[in-house]
Every structure is written in structure tokens, then in C-alpha cells.
Structure 1
Amino acid sequence: MAEFKTLEIVQKDESKAVFHIYLNRPDQRNALTLDFFSELPAALSLLDFHRGASAIVLSARGPHFCAGLDLSAFRSLSTAAGAAADDPARRRELLRRQILSLQSAISAVQSCRRPVIAAVHGACLGAGLDLVSACDLRYCSSSSFFSSLEVDLAIVADLGSLQRLPDIVGAGRAAEMALTGRRVTAAEAMAMGLVSAVFADPPAMDAAVDGIAAELAAKSPLAVAGTKAVLRRSRDLTAEQGLDYVATWNAAMLVSPDLDAAVSTRPGNAARPDFAKL
């Protein structure tokens, strides 16, 4: 498996098609550098096309999940834009392209065919919240807290939380988080739907999330990828358009032998169907 500066990819159990991506700058509270934004899409692409990977857990080394964007990334972007040209319009156009590139890296989580599960402990701030908002499922330990802190840094959050949080927690709660920048506790995060469950401590969370990931990995990869794709697409469609889209998807994918494998185990047969890899 490839090595990265800011990430670590681990398969804990070779008998299960579950891979872990760890944010791996614990001494810097996993603040996101520009290297991260090139490495994350590469890591996700690697696992997306790995036939032995069917589910991905995104978590972090050290006491905190993510402290947000590393200040050096701010400086690098502004310095590069400032040195690009004498024309202010060209400098701003370059900065816009750089921001779009960062956005694309976070969106790679959503675009990945494999389900991505966030397992959060400690602080999840700023760009860290953008990152988990792009995940399919989110869990945390009781010590976790979340904050959309960009407003207190005199900037507008621009990596996806303003676009994705309203679908997750509702427009009112998303606006309150974004405008106040206040700290949201683990219990409150669960109450508003930001996370699906809160666990007593990181080890308990890791064990539970590993089990959830293993369950997802044991399902038909075509069905999981299709469910993820239809859920994502349907957010931008009317109900009628979404139904039409899923009809087209199933018309193409129901010919898979995965369906025969699943049906042959039900009812009365507890054996796990053996699905082909995707």
C-alpha cells in the first residue's frame, strides 16, 4: 500500500474488506496541509479501485480528529496568488482555482464508490467538519466536539460544510453552527443528526465502527455503490426525477449475479452470500 505524508492506510483484518484511512499528523492535531489535499483523493482512488476494499473508515491518530486547515496552507495559497501576476484579477482567478482544487479533494469522499464512515474523537473543527460532512456515516466518542469556526477567522467556510450540513442536520441548525461558530458537543451532535451514535470512548467507538464497516463490506458492492450514488444524486432531484434515476440504475444493475446470491440465502438460510468484488 502506498505511503503518504499526512495519511496512513491500514487493513486491520485481512479477512475483512475494510480499510482504514487515518489522518496522521497527531502532533499538529491533524490540521490539514496542502499535502493532505493531494493525498486524500489519491488514497480514496486507490481504495476505490482495490478489489479487496469494500468499506472505508476515516479516523485519526492522536488525541484529536482534526483541528481544521493548517495555517501554513492559508499562507501558501495567499503567497502563491500574490506572486502570480501584477493583475489583481489574475491573482484572484488563481486563488479561486486553488480553492476549487481543495473543494474537489473533500468531494472525493462523496464521489468514492465505497462507503466512507467517519469515526471522530476529540476536536473536529473547521475543515475537519467539512471532511466528515462529506462522509456517508458519522460516529463519535463522548469526548468529541464539533465547530464550524471559519466565521471567527473572518472567512466563509468554503470546503463543503455549508452545502452538506443542511441536508444532514437541517437548514436552521446548520445556519446556527456556521454563524456562531460555537462548540457542539457529542450528545448535541447526535441529537441533531450530525452523528448516528456516540460511544463512551475511542476504543469502544473503534470496535463498533469496525463492526459496522464489516457489515457494509459483506453486502453486495454493486448494491452499496448504487445506494450511495442514488442517495447523492437524489439530493439534487425532485422525487419524480430521483425515482426515474433509480429505475434506470436498477434496470442496468439487477442483472448482476449478486441478486441471485442474495435471494438464494433467504428465507431460512443464514449463510452469508458470496458476492463478486467490484
Structure 2
Amino acid sequence: MEKMEGFKTLEVVQKDAAVPVFHVYLNRPAHRNALTLDFFSELPRALSLLDQNPAARAIVLSARGPHFCAGIDLSSLGSLGGADQDGADPARARERLRRQILWMQAAITAVERCRKPVIAAVNGACVGGGVDLVTACDVRYCAADAFFSVKEVDLALAADIGTLQRLPAIVGYGNASEMALTGRRVPAAEARAMGLVSAVYASREEMEEAVATIARDIAGKSPIAMAGTKAVLLRSRDLTVEQGLDYVATWNAGMLISDDLKEAVSAQMQKRKPTFAKL
């Protein structure tokens, strides 16, 4: 097992050197993995390192302890923008707060910007900032004990680091609106029915085993194809169908002819498993 050092809120490991899958664990189980300001510095750094690591072809994002994430740590909310000071210019204080919100948004967006597929595996509570995080992932799975809640409304906040922008594209506007306005718990079975997760597993152990198999399968595919598919899906989300088709035509004009394509075709003809070079 190879472990990347230097993180307070995360654990980053490759469990098997022969399998190009890295696991990123939220690692504050005593605090239900609530997201501190350190997390928002560490997540983009970890993903950047994995993005640049040729040995990483797929990433599984999960959590230590009984809960995936209880949302943003409330003590971190109190420190955002700095304490108001007598005589301070309100405009400058608000500009500072806006920059901090944008910084937190960028940390979540780093999941999308990573070229490697990121798979979320959720157990227990996935609340507030946890929903922001999983909606930025490429694929989501959960255990039967999982539940999801867009909880910010109960803290007198509008969710501001990605849920309101990404969730509607995943579950539909009506479902996203209902979740965001009520803040209620959405159990695993309902999350599956609305498309928030792709599958629900009876236990955490069963989920981890299944997700490890899925990640291994993804990691065995062409890294060029994986990076391209992720990039085109994300870009097409914000385009019309016509614009999206034009974008993928341009992408494949530049990337279609590759050693990976030759290897994939050769493997198909020879009825063997393809072997692709590192990205």
C-alpha cells in the first residue's frame, strides 16, 4: 500500500501497486468528516497530484468512519470573511467574503477538472457540503444506510459551492428544488430512484467491494478515452446538442487517432485484454 503524506483532513492511498486506482478518504471520522478550511486547501492539491500521476487512472472518493460527510464545519463558517471590525469598510469585507466563497467553490470544482474519473462511494450521512462534493464526481454509489440532505436552508443559507448548479442536471430541476427548499433527508432507495446514485448496496462492505471492481474496470480502459469522455460530458452539459456535437467533433479530430485506438482494435481482433500506456 502506497500512502501520500502531508494531509490533515484526507487520506490518499493506492492499495495495490498493480492496480492503478487511488483512494481518497475524508479522514475526520470523529467529526463526521465535516469540511474544514484545511479540506478546501487539501482536496485540490490531492487531486492535482493524482491528475499528474501516471500511475493513477481512476480515483475512489469515500470516507473513514460511519458517515461520509456532515457538511461544512460550523466553526469554519464563523471564520469566513474575518471578524467584522469597527470602522471597517463593508464593501471590502463583502469582497473578501466573496473571494473566500469562490475559493471554496474552486476546491469542489477541482473534482471535475481532474482528468481521471472520480467515483464517489457514500455511506451514512451525506449532508450539505457532502452533497456539493458528490455532485462534482463522475459517478456515485452508496450503501443502504446512506442518506442525502441539502441542509443549507436550515442554516439560513443558500447552498453556494456547487449543489444548486450541479444537482439539477443529475436528478432534474423538480427533485433538486424540492431537496434544496425542504432540506429533508433523502434515503438511499429514493436517491437511486431519482438518479443521484447509480446503485445502492446492502452494506458498506458490499459497496466497497463493488466500487473497487468498477474502478479497476475503468482503470483498465484507455486513459485517453477516459479523459476525453469526461471532458466532453462536462462541456456538453452547458451546451446545446448542436454545440456539443461540434465540440466532440473537434475533440476527436485531435485525439481520435492514437496508439490506444490501435491497441483497442488489435485486442478486439485477437480476443484479448488491451494494454494501454500510462497517461
Using the size of structure 2 for normalisation, the TM-score is 0.97
User: Residue 28 of structure 1 is aligned with which of 31, 40, 55?
Assistant: 31
* Shift of residue 84, structure 1, vs aligned partner: 10
Give the distance between the partners of 1:74 and 1:270, measured in 2 at CA: 56
* Shift of residue 265, structure 1, vs aligned partner: 1.2
String of CA shifts for 1:55-105, please: whole Å, max 9, x gaps: 000000000000000011101114x15259710011001000000000000
Specify the alignment match of 2:268 in structure 1: 266
Q: Name the SS of the counterpart of 2:48 in structure 1.
A: helix
1:29-108, aligned counterparts within 5 Å? 29-78=32-81, 80=82, 82-83=84-85, 86-108=88-110
Give the distance between the partners of 1:84 and 1:242, measured in 2 at CA: 51
Give the AA of the match of 1:46: L
* Shift of residue 15, structure 1, vs aligned partner: 0.8
* Shift of residue 186, structure 1, vs aligned partner: 0.2
Specify the alignment match of 1:206 in structure 2: 208
Give the distance between the partners of 1:270 and 1:23, measured in 2 at CA: 40
Give the distance between the partners of 2:87 and 2:28, measured in 1 at CA: 34
* Shift of residue 123, structure 1, vs aligned partner: 0.2
Give the distance between the partners of 2:196 and 2:189, measured in 1 at CA: 10
Specify the alignment match of 1:275 in structure 2: 276
Give the AA of the match of 2:72: L
User: Residue 150 of structure 2 is aligned with which of 123, 148, 152?
Assistant: 148
Give the distance between the partners of 1:276 and 1:83, measured in 2 at CA: 57
Specify the alignment match of 2:251 in structure 1: 249
Give the distance between the partners of 1:122 and 1:39, measured in 2 at CA: 23
1:177-188, aligned counterparts within 5 Å? 177-188=179-190
String of CA shifts for 1:190-237, please: whole Å, max 9, x gaps: 000000000011110000000000011000001000000000000111
* Shift of residue 270, structure 1, vs aligned partner: 3.3
Give the distance between the partners of 1:155 and 1:36, measured in 2 at CA: 20
Q: Name the SS of the counterpart of 2:200 in structure 1.
A: strand
User: Residues 222, 67 of structure 1: CA spacing in aligned structure 2 closer, same or farther, 3 A cutoff?
Assistant: same
Give the AA of the match of 1:260: K
Q: Greater shift after overlay, 247-256 or 206-215?
A: 247-256
Q: Name the SS of the counterpart of 2:142 in structure 1.
A: strand
Q: Name the SS of the counterpart of 2:15 in structure 1.
A: coil
RMSD of equivalent CA atoms? 1.1
Using the size of structure 1 for normalisation, the TM-score is 0.97
Paired-residue identity, %? 68
Flag structure 1 segments of 5+ consecutive residues without an equivalent. none
Q: Name the SS of the counterpart of 1:151 in structure 2.
A: helix
Give the distance between the partners of 2:14 and 2:91, measured in 1 at CA: 47
1:122 to 2:124 alignment = yes
Give the distance between the partners of 1:81 and 1:161, measured in 2 at CA: 27
1:207-246, aligned counterparts within 5 Å? 207-246=209-248
Give the AA of the match of 2:263: A
User: Residues 97, 81 of structure 1: CA spacing in aligned structure 2 closer, same or farther, 3 A cutoff?
Assistant: farther
Q: How many residues align?
A: 276
Give the distance between the partners of 2:19 and 2:13, measured in 1 at CA: 12
Q: Name the SS of the counterpart of 2:140 in structure 1.
A: strand
The answer to whether the Cα contact below 8 Å between 1:166 and 1:173 also exists between their aligned partners in 2 is yes
Q: Extract structure 1 runs of 4+ deviating beyond 3 A.
A: none
Give the distance between the partners of 1:180 and 1:72, measured in 2 at CA: 24
The answer to whether the Cα contact below 8 Å between 1:81 and 1:92 also exists between their aligned partners in 2 is no
1:162-181, aligned counterparts within 5 Å? 162-181=164-183
* Shift of residue 255, structure 1, vs aligned partner: 2.2
Give the AA of the match of 2:261: L
User: Residue 16 of structure 1 is aligned with which of 2, 16, 19?
Assistant: 19
Give the distance between the partners of 1:37 and 1:2, measured in 2 at CA: 17
